[in-house]
Structure 1
Amino acid sequence: MSSVDNKVIEVSGVSLCYDRLPVLENINLDIYKGDFLAITGPNGGGKTSLLRIILGLLKPNIGKVHYYRDGHWVRDLNLGYLPQKNGIDSRFPITVSEVIASGLMNGRSLGRLSVEQYAMVSEMIHLMGLEELADRPIGGLSGGQLQRTLLGRTLVSQPEILILDEPSSYVDKVFESRMYDLLKDISYKTTILLVSHEVNHVTELASRTVRINKTLQEVL
């Protein structure tokens, strides 16, 4: 398969300003099927804004983002996203297992999940090390436990492209190492975009690394 057929995302001439201040300037980036792309750069350099533009959550002032599958332009892809700052209300009466299961619901109620899907949720609870917390409301979780729950929700849907913004935020070093091992295991079948300030660890796993500081400064 050619590189054109392998392309899944094309960021073309993207620029973004807030109150006339440049956040991103003329970003051009092609992402290919099977990439494990590490995105690094200083705080305020535009990394999260770039992810949000790729996801369609933020509209650039200039430029376009296109999605592709098998060499053909498509309107959407199966994208999984773990933001740096979650917007979930910890007062909402929902348990850990229900949050993870929500990654499979697609508008259906929890009771409509198949036996196979319930098994997927159980396996993800195990992978996230949350067995003892499965029935606990999210309001009783620590920051790290909630981050693991939200990561589980993102992964259980088996997205074509996994987009992670500082996924190690709040988690301890033991789970951080486990998380990176898990990402390495799934990278053969999942395209991964990962923003991190921990350059050394992430770039060891990544197939490509880009540095963003308003412009795309370098590709290593």
Structure 2
Amino acid sequence: MSVLEIERLVVHRGQQAVLQNVTLRLERPGLYGLIGPNGGGKSTLLSVICGLLPASAGRVEVLEETPRRAAPRLALVPQAATFDRAFPVTLQGLVETALLGPRLFSRPMAGAGKRIADAMAKTGISDLADRPLSALSGGGVAARFDCARAGRGARIAASGRTDRQR
């Protein structure tokens, strides 16, 4: 089973081609880096892989499925997560929403509490679970929250810049 297969990918933003003739194949799961200049199309490529942007031409398969079908098993950590720190929610509530998605008027999924606790433990934020967002400092908590959010059972987690602290 190949993890990622891209053949002759072309992506347009408006009239401009931002990716042209991209071909890539990853045979095994692993930790991979995508390096390139600003404006080189890294975020665009990751957005296509995660099913957030359509390809204009070419073929993309993720875990042997289309990106849209594979999307529930993928996670994309954006370059800068934005959320209203004044919103009256605890860090655990925010991680729960990120891991499980909005589930208004529905029953919690089996094992949801364990998944949330595991994600928070793996990223070192368990001790902050009951604190409101407004009481937390930004930097390290935001980065670890992104990791907890991406850890929702994802097979592929992608990130933008890692050279700055938030």
Q: Same fold (TM over 0.5)?
A: yes
| Structure 2 stretches lacking a partner, 5+ long | none
Counterparts in 2 of 1:111 and 1:134: CA distance versus 1, 3 Å: farther
Counterpart of 1:54?
49
SS at match of 1:7: coil
Residues 1:135 and 2:156 are matched in the alignment: no
Shift of 1:54: 0.9
Candidates 10, 24, 33, aligned match of 1:29: 24
Structure 1 unaligned residues grouped into runs of 5+: 1-5, 172-220
What TM-score, normalized by structure 1, do the two folds share?
0.61
- Find the counterpart in structure 1 of residue 117 from structure 2: 122
Instruction: Determine whether 1:76 maps to 2:69.
Output: yes
Q: For 2:9 and 2:85, locate their aligned partners in 1 and report how far apart those are by CA, in whole Å.
A: 35
**2:91 and 2:133 in contact (8 A); partners too:** yes
Going from structure 1 to structure 2, the CA distance change for 1:17 and 1:76 (only over 3 Å counts) comes to closer
Encode CA deviations 1:8-50: one digit per residue, 9 max, x unaligned: 3222211234454442121011223313221111111111111
RMSD: 2.8
Aligned to 1:149: 145
The answer to whether the aligner puts 1:95 opposite 2:95 as a matched pair is no
TM-score, normalised relative to structure 2: 0.78
Q: How many residues align?
A: 161
1:52 and 1:112 map into 2 onto residues whose CA distance is 29
TM-superposed deviation, 1:85: 1.8
Matched residue of 1:65: which SS? strand
Structure with greater strand share of residues: 1
Q: Spell out, residue by residue over 1:80-127, the C-alpha distance to the aligned partner (whole angstroms, 9 max, x if none).
A: 22111224333332211112222442554697254x432332233233
Kindly, what percent of the aligned residue pairs are identical?
27
